[in-house]
């Protein structure tokens, strides 16, 4: 079986607008992989469980105000504080299914008008994903989905700008999946993409994010 071959795990990232279905699909993908006997964990950023994560969470809930660059760097720090654990999990053969990563960091901050290169810089040196799955849903459609939860960025005009920035970040590791298709269809596509990725990257070394 795959586990005993001692290959490394894959870093699979899901990205998309708020209410694009990422969290549900991450959970479905994770339980599928576990059912296949694959060692996998579900992660998410922001990780609200750390001290930095609590500051981010308060900011998103509009309970605190922070300068745009300050919150950007906190989101990045929240990934840096998990980098060592992420590396040891991956090298130990565990696949990580991650709900949001550096692309959220850049797309959301750039949508506020911050310089894109400035936004990318603090994440250089984090672990580069093996696969980024972008769940593509029109901002209007996402907004219809049970309404936003009232967090800071959950406004349709803002999400449109975020979508434009996501678009310009796409590179060769990205697969765009139509998130407006039925949940089961999306799930099926994610299973195939993730399974292929896990097989292909077993013998590949980890690399760092360079953008």
Whole-angstrom distance, CA of residue 74 vs CA of residue 204: 30
Applying CB under 6 A, which part among 27-35, 84-92, 99-107, 166-174 lies near ligand TMP?
A: 99-107
Q: Closer CB to Mg ion, residue 46 or residue 129?
A: 46
For residue 127, state whether it binds ligand TMP (rule: CB under 6 A): no
Q: Closer CB to ligand TMP, residue 57 or residue 195?
A: 57
Whole-angstrom distance, CA of residue 96 vs CA of residue 105: 19
Q: Closer CB to ligand TMP, residue 59 or residue 198?
A: 59
For residue 166, state whether it binds ligand TMP (rule: CB under 6 A): no
Whole-angstrom distance, CA of residue 40 vs CA of residue 33: 7
Give the total of residues touching ligand TMP (CB under 6 A): 11
The distance from CA 154 to its chain's CA centroid, rounded to whole angstroms, is 17
Q: What is the DSSP string of 46-80?
A: S-TTSHHHHHHHHHHTTSS---HHHHHHHHHHHHH
Token code pair at residue 115: 């310089």
Enumerate residues 9-68 that contact Mg ion by CB under 5 A. 18
Among 33, 60, 98, 126, interactor with ligand TMP by CB under 6 A: 60
Enumerate residues 104-123 that contact ligand TMP by CB under 6 A. 104-105, 108
Q: How far is CA 108 from CA 53, 162, 181, in A?
A: 17, 5, 25
Q: Closer CB to ligand TMP, residue 153 or residue 174?
A: 153
Name the site residues for ligand TMP (rule: CB under 6 A).
Answer: 18, 45-46, 60, 75, 100, 104-105, 108, 151, 153
């Amino acid at each position: 079986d795959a586990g005993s071959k001692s290959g490394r795990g894959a870093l699979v990232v899901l990205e998309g607008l708020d209410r694009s279905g990422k969290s549900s699909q991450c959970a479905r993908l994770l339980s599928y992989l576990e059912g296949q006997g694959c060692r996998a964990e579900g992660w998410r950023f922001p990780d609200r469980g750390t001290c930095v994560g609590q500051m981010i969470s308060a900011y998103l809930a509009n309970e605190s105000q922070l300068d745009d660059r300050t919150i950007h760097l906190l989101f990045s720090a929240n990934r840096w504080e998990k980098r060592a654990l992420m590396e040891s999990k991956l090298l130990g053969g565990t696949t990580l299914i991650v709900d949001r990563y550096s692309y959220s960091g850049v797309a959301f901050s750039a949508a506020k008008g911050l310089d894109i290169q400035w936004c990318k810089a603090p994440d250089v040196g984090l672990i580069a994903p093996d696969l980024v799955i972008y769940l593509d849903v029109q901002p209007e459609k996402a907004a219809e989905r049970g309404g936003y939860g009232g967090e800071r960025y959950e406004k349709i005009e803002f999400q449109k700008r975020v979508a434009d920035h996501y678009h310009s970040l796409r590179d060769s590791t990205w697969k765009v999946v139509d998130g407006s298709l039925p949940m089961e269809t999306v799930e099926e596509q994610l299973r195939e993409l993730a399974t292929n990725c896990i097989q292909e990257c077993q013998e590949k070394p980890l690399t760092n994010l360079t953008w």
